[in-house]
Amino acid sequence: MSAEKKNLDWGNLGFAYIPTDFSYVCNYKNGAWGEGFLTSDHSLQISECAGIFHYCQEVFEGLKAYTTRDGRIVCFRPDLNAERMYASAQRLCMPPFPIDRFIDAVKTVVKANEAWVPPFGSGATLYVRPFMIATGDVIGVKAATEYQFRILVTPVGPYFKGGDTSVKLTISDFDRAAPRGTGNIKAGLNYAMSLYATEAAHHAGYAENLYLDSQTRTFIEETGGANVLFAAADSSLVVPKSATDSILPSITRRSLIVVARDILGMQVVERAVKFEEVQSGAFEECGLCGTAAVISPVAGIEKPEAGISISFPKAANGAGPIMAKLRKTLTDIQTGEAEGPQGWVVEIN
Ligand SMILES: *Cc1c(COP(=O)(O)O)cnc(C)c1O
């Protein structure tokens, strides 16, 4: 049954778009979602007046499909991506794509591109990017009446080439999300407005910005594209919580909390975390979590002009013991090497 794999150098893929055989498309018109279908056309032709171009109605998701040791193709908790995209769409006045149809569409498009799913052990995965845009015309400010839901897939290499790489963060002068704004939904607009700050961080030699809550600039929120975790000296996992609900609900973070608490028997505390605490050395380890890298260890947080220089010596050369254990446990579950909670790993067939 297994399709012949494409002739790619699986071990050396980067994180860049490679068109595959099929994308999935479903259009919304006259108040209803139509039949979804596969297409080999990877471009779109839409009106210059489409809502996406003017008022930025766009939401997206990201998940991965991969091959297990015994040759099955699986993905991880697609139901949570479906639910999150549903909520994101509602927030931007877009018609939510039904949860069950989202999961079916992911299965359909991954199955159709089976030959592009990297083999077990290559470190590479098939990145799955569902997204939705307003295709209907709008000129006055309002929600469009026509939309397209689409899924593209593309094979990608491991996020960090050469394995375990620690990153350094800086504190941005800009904010990522307004209190009670759109920080908790996965929408391109949150990235458009933070690119400037991200480029500034890169230019200064940092991997990412750590954002503080924009209301008080006191509490840890997250980075531009990943949630933050801390390990305390007593080995508990401390997970920052936002007073203004402006942290993106990372599926990796929510899964790691279950792994830590129920599988590793760790104490997990979800609470507001003051940046002051981090500065005072309350935490031994820090990690960034998201689908792409699962956990990236943080070696330090610096802002020389403000006299900020925090280091996490345990992550100087890769993950410290707690982040390493969390990452390994979750990765083993995701790849089918270890048993996880019921329903987390979904087979494509
Ligand atoms: C997607 C995203 C994350 C990570 O979420 P996962 O579901 O774990 O991939 C974190 N922060 C932001 C801002 C994001 O867009």
Q: What digits encode the pLDDT tens for the residues 239-248?
A: 999 999 999 9
Give 4's pLDDT tier (boundaries 50, 70, 90). Answer: confident
Give 292's pLDDT tier (boundaries 50, 70, 90). Answer: confident
Query: Is any ligand 1 atom within 6 A of the Cβ of residue 296?
Result: no
Q: Is the pLDDT of residue 200 over 80?
A: yes
Q: Is the pLDDT of residue 228 over 50?
A: yes
The answer to whether residue 123 is domain-embedded is yes
Which is catalytic among the residues 186, 274, 303, 314? 186
Residues 152 and 205 in one domain: no
pLDDT attached to residue 1: 46
* Average pLDDT in the chain: 95
pTM: 0.97
Q: Side chain identity at 41, as an amino acid letter?
A: D
Instruction: Give the DSSP letter string of 155-211.
Output: EE--SSTTS---EEEEE-SS-S--TTSSTTS--HHHHHTTHHHHHHHHHTT-SEEEE
Ligand 1 centroid from CA 153, angstroms: 18
Indicate the number of domains in the chain.
Answer: 2
Asked about 314 being catalytic, the answer comes back as no
Q: Which residues contact 330 (CB under 8 A, 6 or more apart)?
A: 252, 255, 256, 259, 294, 295
Ligand 1 centroid from CA 67, angstroms: 23
Residues 236 and 123 in one domain: no
Going by the DSSP 8-state scheme, the letter that residue 261 receives in this structure is I
What is the tens place of the pLDDT at every residue in 53-87? 999 999 999 999 999 999 999 999 999 999 999 99
Q: Is the pLDDT of residue 193 over 80?
A: yes
CATH number for the domain that contains residue 223: 3.20.10.10
Q: Report how far residue 56's alpha carbon sits from residue 286's, in angstroms, rounded to the nearest whole number.
A: 34
Residues 142 and 171 in one domain: no
Q: Which helix (H) or strand (E) holds 239?
A: strand 237-240
Residues 80 and 151 in one domain: yes
Tell me the average pLDDT across 93-121: 97
Atom of ligand 1 nearest to the CA of 292: 9
Q: Note down the domain range covering 75.
A: 10-157
Q: Could you give the dihedral angle defined by the CA atoms of residues 241, 243, 247 and 252, in that order, rounded to the nearest 10 degrees?
A: 20
Ligand 1, atom 10: nearest CA belongs to which residue?
226
Give 162's pLDDT tier (boundaries 50, 70, 90). Answer: low
Q: Report how far residue 51's alpha carbon sits from residue 289's, in angstroms, rounded to the nearest whole number.
A: 32
Atom of ligand 1 nearest to the CA of 63: 9
| In contact, 304 and 271? CB cutoff 8 Å | no
The answer to whether residue 205 is domain-embedded is yes
pLDDT attached to residue 164: 83
Query: Is any ligand 1 atom within 6 A of the Cβ of residue 81?
Result: no
| In contact, 22 and 159? CB cutoff 8 Å | no
Last residue of a domain, which of 157, 186, 203? Answer: 157
Query: Is any ligand 1 atom within 6 A of the Cβ of residue 291?
Result: yes
Q: How many residues does the chain have?
A: 349
